[in-house]
A and B are shown apart, each in its own frame.
Chain A
Amino acid sequence: MADSNNHNSLARFSIAPVFMFRWEESQQAHVLMYPEGIVKLNPTAGEILTRCNGANTVEDIVHQLSELFCEQPEFIEPRVHQFLEVCHGKGWIQPQS
């Protein structure tokens, strides 16, 4: 699965400017808002996008999540890559140049 990803482990992502990403107390969840739309994120997705701040590399995110969820990086890595690909495809995040 890791082979299928197009994202370099050293890539850095940030939330695309059209989107507003934040914790929403009333939903007890992270939400992503954009013109005329809202996406409510599950806890794992919220943790990953929180770290898409332009500073963390994908590798950093993998390590932080493996600590957070007490899982091996080998288990976490393909899942993070896969989710970031989905996010990129939806235009939620953009790579830092």
Chain B
Amino acid sequence: MAKAGSNLNLDGQGNPVWLLLELTYKCPLKCAFCSNPTDLDAHQDELTTAEWKKVMHDARNMGAMQIGFSGGEPTLRKDLEELVAEANDLGYYTNLITSGIGLTRKRLENLKKAGLRHIQLGFQSSDPQTAHWLAGVDCYEKKINMAREIKALGFPMVLNVPISSLNIHQVPDIISLAADIGVEYLELANVQYYNWALVNRDQLMPTREALIAAEAQVAEAREQLGDSMTIFFVIPDYYEGRPKACMNGWGSIHLTIAPDGVVLPCSQARSLPGLDFPGVRDHDLASIWHESESFNLYRGDSWMKEPCRSCSEKEQDFGGCRCQAMLLTGDAANADPACSKSPHHHIVQDAVASALASKQDHSRLIARDVGWVPTEM
């Protein structure tokens, strides 16, 4: 999922700091808010173990320090432990971003031995029925068990809960559950509307009243829990009026490698039409980062149009998200329409109105139905 910007206080001095490996698009879940491409079946030719190792090595030489193993479901790769060990040896801080399905106690122990530092577990709901609706399969018990195993092995853990109209009323229960499991960080991340989530936007968008209520509940919980758990509540940009500082700017510090080796400034960028992203099978990673047309297209601010070009906030938000500008206005160089200064802001306001007017009925959610692999629960 596109992040609002990572937490860091250094710049890459022109080099990537974050490397995200999308090891596979395959997944045992069918989430209605999945951020993978809707045409993901077209990109299933996954890199080999040796090819992934070369990517990690090359990015480390360029200065990357944090590595995320993601997907799809990264644990479906049998070589995950081997890749984590290699990353650890290279000096990366290793993060696993998983649904927990595909993990076992044994694999967790082996990942620990391999040097895995941190696990981000995706979680849908504190209620098994809602979790089933959102993920498309019955996985609640398995996830809770894995969360407890992760803590038992002493991994720091982020519980990441995509928030939508279907679970926003459960925020207090979700916080209690996270506290009971003993997670260090709880990320209540309002769903961002790309790919599958955009398909389901009318069904998923919460009301402003629900957001205000959830924010108050989060504030109350922070007061009660003190330092024992950090709760992040990421406001949806459709409501905020200010765009997110997406990826800290295009081609600034983030490098994403898709399952087939295509190199992207973020995992959503593949959906931009007309852009030809090079892959590591054909080109050197450093030359893609520094010299490719696709990485230079929206780097810096010379590509900006008005109102971004003369905006006093362009150094803070970089004009927002290029993918969202493309998806909603038809031109990635436009200001992100989440910005209230954008001449297209009415599109976001109309989407909010449309979601409110539609009968929000979760039986109409469209489950991600490609790249699904059945797994023993």
A binds B: yes
Indicate if the CB atoms of A35 and B154 lie closer than 8 Å: no
Q: List residues of chain B with CB within 8 A of the CB of A18.
A: 118, 156, 184
- CB-nearest residue of chain B relative to A28? B13
Q: List residues of chain A with CB within 8 A of the CB of B66.
A: 33, 36, 38
Minimum C-beta distance from A21 to chain B (A): 10
A17 contacts chain B at the CB level, 8 A cutoff: yes
Q: How many residues of A contact B (CB 8 A)?
A: 18
A40-B8 Cα distance, complex, nearest whole Å: 8
Q: Mark A30-45, 1 if CB is under 8 A from B, else 0.
A: 0101111111100000
Q: Mark B60-95, 1 if CB is under 8 A from A, else 0.
A: 001101100000000000000000000000010101
- Contacting residues of chain A (1-42) with chain B, CB-CB under 8 angstroms: 17-18, 20, 22, 24, 26-27, 29, 31, 33-40
Indicate if the CB atoms of B63 and A27 lie closer than 8 Å: yes
B17 contacts chain A at the CB level, 8 A cutoff: yes
A22-B88 Cα distance, complex, nearest whole Å: 13
Q: List residues of chain A with CB within 8 A of the CB of B65.
A: 24, 26, 31, 33, 38
A91 contacts chain B at the CB level, 8 A cutoff: yes
Q: List residues of chain B with CB within 8 A of the CB of A38.
A: 8-10, 17, 65-66, 93
Indicate if the CB atoms of B7 and A36 lie closer than 8 Å: yes
B227 contacts chain A at the CB level, 8 A cutoff: yes
- CB-nearest residue of chain B relative to A39? B9
Indicate if the CB atoms of B91 and A91 lie closer than 8 Å: no
Q: List residues of chain B with CB within 8 A of the CB of A24.
A: 65
Knowing A22-B91, A26-B15, the reply to whether A17 touches B154 (Cβ < 8 A) is: yes
**Contact among A17, A26, A29, A36 for B6, CB-based, below 8 A:** A36
Minimum C-beta distance from A58 to chain B (A): 22
Q: List residues of chain A with CB within 8 A of the CB of B35.
A: none
Q: List residues of chain A with CB within 8 A of the CB of B10.
A: 27, 29, 31, 38-40
- CB-nearest residue of chain A relative to B232? A36
A51-B214 Cα distance, complex, nearest whole Å: 43
Indicate if the CB atoms of A20 and B117 lie closer than 8 Å: yes
Indicate if the CB atoms of B8 and A35 lie closer than 8 Å: no
Knowing A18-B156, A20-B117, the reply to whether A35 touches B185 (Cβ < 8 A) is: yes
B158 contacts chain A at the CB level, 8 A cutoff: yes
Q: List residues of chain A with CB within 8 A of the CB of B9.
A: 38-40
Indicate if the CB atoms of B95 and A35 lie closer than 8 Å: yes
B126 contacts chain A at the CB level, 8 A cutoff: no
A26-B8 Cα distance, complex, nearest whole Å: 16
Binding site for B on A (CB under 8 A): 17-18, 20, 22, 24, 26-27, 29, 31, 33-40, 91
A-B contact pairs, 20 of them (CB 8 A): A17-B156, A18-B184, A20-B93, A26-B63, A26-B65, A27-B13, A27-B63, A29-B10, A33-B65, A34-B93, A34-B156, A35-B118, A35-B156, A35-B185, A37-B6, A37-B7, A38-B8, A38-B10, A39-B8, A91-B227
